[in-house]
Amino acid sequence: MAPKSASDVKVLASQFAATHESGKLLVLPTAWDTWSAGIVEKAGFKGLTVGSHPVADAHGSSDGENMDFSDYMAVVKQITAAVSIPVSVDVESGYGLSPAELVKRVLDAGAVGINVEDVVHRENDRVREAQEHADYIAAAREAADDAGVDLVINGRTDAVKLGANVFEDPMVEAIKRVKLMEQAGARSVYPVGLTTAEQIERLVKAVSVPVNVTAHPVDGHGAGDLVALAALGVRRVTFGPLWQKWLEATSAQQLKGWA
């Protein structure tokens, strides 16, 4: 398929935003190349995510903004050209780019969503202040709106994952951050590290936009399978690096007999 045009991006972005506003649970498998993205599309999913972790692993780099952003966007552009469904890309904390530059380059690559986290890896894993992170998302929202694109911003916080060593009450901090991100224009929020039904319920009640959780494509989530997650109010599920890692482990086991 040909690279996505500006008009293609606008149409796909509107389509992607509508699926997030539908109230239905949206599963967005996390791909890392055209092969994995093609599998996702053939399986009938309504969109996919591109993960920085699996892309880096597939290209001999490592997660944490260690891959050159231009090289990363070249991979994203190949993926968006290869599929007809909406593609959202994990941009970590922004790779040191201004929100406007980040959005421009993502849209140029044909993606219609971004996942933005509050841990700045290139600054010794500094955690952005809650309002600082919300302001970054607000600026990205403004840049997308100025471009006339319904970009879906998935606002990520690592508050729960970082735990009590960083925050006095990680859940309270996560709730504060997802609320600020929703107000800033995030169309979904991603409090990583949720492992229980009680945690999920608290975060779902805190916002009106979809809450994203990470699940394993085979083992599901600590709070249950897809049906259980839907019952808890989860409206967006991604795989992170777990699908790729499962394929790695399964392939290694199966190939042993040939070594």
Q: What are the structure tokens assigned to 259, written together?
A: 């070594």
Task: Answer positive or negative: Cα dihedral of 116, 158, 69, 35.
Answer: negative
Tell me the CA end-to-end span of the chain in Å, nearest whole number.
Answer: 37
Q: In this structure, what CATH number is given to the domain that contains residue 39?
A: 3.20.20.60
Bridge-based pairing of strands 152-157 and 236-238 is: unpaired
- Domain membership of residue 80 as a residue range: 6-253
pTM of the model: 0.96
What's the domain count of the chain? Answer: 1
pLDDT at 63: 87
Total count of residues recorded for the chain: 259
Averaged pLDDT score across all residues of the chain:
97
259 inside domain: no
Q: What are the structure tokens assigned to 185, written together?
A: 């224009």
Other C-beta atoms within 10 Å of 253: how many? 9
What percent of the chain stands above pLDDT 70? 100
Q: At what angle do helices 69-82 and 34-42 cross, to 10 degrees?
A: 30
pLDDT in tens, 8-58: 999 999 999 999 999 999 999 999 999 999 999 999 999 999 999 999 999
pLDDT exceeds 80 at position 1 = no
Q: What are the structure tokens assigned to 62, written together?
A: 């490592």
Report DSSP state, residue 91. Answer: -
Q: Which amino acid is at 28?
A: L
pLDDT exceeds 90 at position 213 = yes
When pLDDT is averaged across residues 213-240 and rounded to a whole number, the result is 97
pLDDT at 34: 98
How sure is the predictor about 155, in pLDDT bands with cuts at 50, 70 and 90?
Answer: very high
169 inside domain: yes
When pLDDT is averaged across residues 55-68 and rounded to a whole number, the result is 92
211 inside domain: yes
Q: Which of 64, 56, 139 is nearest to 102 (CA)?
A: 139
101 inside domain: yes
